[in-house]
Structure formats: structure tokens, C-alpha cells
Amino acid sequence: MSQKRIGLQTIHLPSRPAICGSAAFVGKKEGEGPLGDRFDFVTQDELYNQKTFELAEKQLYLDAIRKAIRKGASRPEEVQFLLGGDLLNQIITASFSARDLGIPFIGLYGACSTMAESLALAAMLLDGGHAHQAVCAASSHFCTAERQYRYPLEFGAQRPPTSQWTVTGAGAALLSTQPKSPVLAHITQVCMGRVVDLGISDANNMGAAMAPAAADTLLALFSDTGTAPDDFDLIVTGDLGQVGSDLLHQLMREQRTPLPDEKHADCGLMIFDREKQDVHAGGSGCGCGASVLCAHLLPQMQQGVYRRIIFMATGALMSLTSSQQGESIPGVAHAVVLEGAET
């Protein structure tokens, strides 16, 4: 067995691929939240000067990628892989963006786990010597997701307290083996998740559907590497929201690996002010974790606020068809360990 494989799910990356550029383009509501001044750009409405919400999401995606590449002092022609996805059927946001960029494209679907899935894969490809530079991206859009997964926007459906508000935003990160700009963080380990399903079938309670997968991957990472929550400055989940976060803490306590409150943060709880912004259980969507990571966490790592964190994005893998056929919602969580440049 290669020295890179630790235990069942965790992979060690001796070359420590660097993230050297990141950007997030978000919607108006996200700009009004607590992280509003961190984003690279905040749109003034959900259409972002486009004809359709889908084209608006694609433009956010493209703009975030181009900005991340520019901040990494590179050009699209030098980037060897675009690894990305989104929440829309057939990941049209990512595919149509790839058409405009001309970068060889590896399309992913991991629902809201996409940003961690793409970072983990890109880091392994760079570590393996198969690429020099790769860009990772994920996005979501409240209006495209709501009408695809739930109800027409015009219907104005009432939302239960467990529901989350899909973030309008795209995040992108440039990885390089030979950074030409200051390094934000290194990816030193990745842990790829199994699909876990404890039987939740309520599509308005995705936090609960994803929490068991989050616990499963986190426990695998700790077990494989012999670490514990205290070995990290922060463990950041993608978009469990309040309901999912509470469940994750409960599941971790039951497994005798409690997560101290000060060690855990959830992007879905960071991006909105739940008191003032009426988002119920918090933010969601793969653009949630992606934009909080790319606009807030990575710059904080560069500033030395955190030296070693786990970024773990969780995905709920249902479709409208599977829900209508009575299936429960499988969840998955992928994790990357990020370390500061000076560690």
C-alpha cells in the first residue's frame, strides 16, 4: 500500500498542493449578510443582467473562476483542468461555463458536497503529477434551485422551519504546484465520503439528511489519521444549517468524539443572519460552502487566523424523481484538510 493512503478513506498528499487564488461572486441577499464585505462581487438582483436565472448563475460561475485564476496570477490557457459542478440537472452551469473557458473539463455531481469533492480530486491530480494547475468551482442560485427542486417561484410556497435558503453564489479556487502568487492554504489530506442514509425523506429537512454523512466522514478522518477535534483550529461544514449542525453534534457525542462548540462552524450559519434575514435553518446549496470558503475562510488562513482546518461539504443526493417515488435522501460528505502556508 502506498504511503499516501492512510486507513480506509483518508489520503495524505505529501506535495501539499497550494491554493493560490480564490474568489466568490454572490447575490444581493448574501451581500447583506454578515460576510457581505468579504465577497469579490455582490450582484444587485438575482438576474445579474442576464435573460434567465440559469444564465445569471452561469455568469456568477464564470466570473468567480476568471477572478480566481487572475488572483492566482495565471490565465485560463495555463489551467489544465476545470473540476466543477452545481445543483442543476445535468450540471448545466458548470458545463456551459466550461464551454466558454475552453479548459479541459471534469464534470462532477456531489450536490452541496461539490466544492470539497472538486478540491479533493484536484489536489490528488496535482499531487500525482498529472497537472500543474487546476481550478475548482461550485455554485447555486436560489431561483434556479427553488424552481427545479421544489415549487415555481411564483407559487410563493410557505417554508417549514427546518428548510434552508439556497445561496445565490459561486466560489472558485485555483490550485497550483508552483504558485506565482501568495499561497492561501495547502491541501494536505483529503477524505472521500461514503453515501449514508438514515431514512430521512423530507426534502425540506436536508440538514438532517446530511448530518449522518458528515459524522461518518469526520469519524473516518479522525480514525484514519489518529487525530481529534482539538488537533484542528476549526471544523467547517458546508451547509448543515442549524438542524443539521445540532444533529451532527449529537451523533459525534454518541460516538464519544464530541465536537466542542468553538471548534465547529457551518457555512450555512455564517453566510446569513438568521435573526434578520428570514432564512429559517440557514443557508444551503453548493454555492454556500464554496463562497464562504473562497471569500472568507481561505483569506483568513492566509492571514494566519487559522493554521489547520477541516473543510467538509455535505451533499443531499436526492432528485425530484427519487423523492416522488418515496425514496429517502442519501447524504455524502467529503473533507479536505487545509493548512496555512507557514505550517
Binding residues for a second copy, rule: CB under 8 A, are 1-5, 8-9, 11, 52, 54-55, 80-81, 85, 88-92, 95-96, 98-99, 102-111, 117, 121, 124-125, 127-132, 148, 192-197, 317-322, 325, 327, 330, 332
Mention every residue, 6+ apart, whose C-beta is less than 8 A from residue 293. Answer: 22, 115, 171, 173, 236, 267, 311
How far separated are the first and last CA of the chain, in Å rounded? 27
Alpha-carbon separation of residue 299 from 91, 104, 281 (angstroms): 28, 27, 26
Cell of 312: 467538509
Please tell me the distance from the alpha carbon of residue 339 to that of residue 343, in angstroms, as a whole number.
7
Task: Tell the smallest beta-carbon distance from residue 305 to a second copy (Å).
Answer: 30
Which is closer to a second copy, CB of 42 or CB of 122? 122
Q: How far is CA 111 from CA 10, 30, 156, in A?
A: 21, 20, 24
Q: Which is nearer to a second copy, 41 or 105 (CB)?
A: 105
Cα–Cα distance for residue pair 236/217, rounded to 1 Å: 13
Least Å distance between CB 271 and a second copy?
A: 23
272 Cβ neighbours under 8 A, 6+ residues apart:
29, 30, 33, 34, 165, 279, 282, 283
Please say whether the beta carbons of 292 and 330 come within 8 A: no
For a second copy, give the closer residue by CB, 89 or 303. Answer: 89
Shortest spacing between CB 166 and a second copy, in angstroms: 15
- Polymer length of the chain: 343
CB of 155 to a second copy, least distance (A): 18
Cα 4 to Cα 84: distance, rounded to the nearest angstrom: 24
Rounded distance between C-alpha atoms, residue 50 and residue 14, angstroms = 44
What does each C-alpha distance from 18 to 45, 177, 247, 295 come to in angstroms?
34, 6, 33, 16
Residue 127 CB, nearest approach to a second copy (Å)? 6
Which of 52/303 has CB closer to a second copy?
52
CB of 91: closest distance to a second copy in angstroms? 5
CB of 240 to a second copy, least distance (A): 19
Nearer to a second copy, 75 or 253 (CB): 75
By beta-carbon proximity to a second copy, the closer residue of 213 and 279 is 213
* CA–CA separation, 320 and 205 (whole Å): 14
In terms of CB distance, is 126 or 297 closer to a second copy?
A: 126
> Closest separation between CB of residue 92 and a second copy, Å?
5
**Complex with a second copy: residue 75 or 276, whichever CB lies closer:** 75
- Contact call for residues 60 and 106 (beta carbons, < 8 A): no
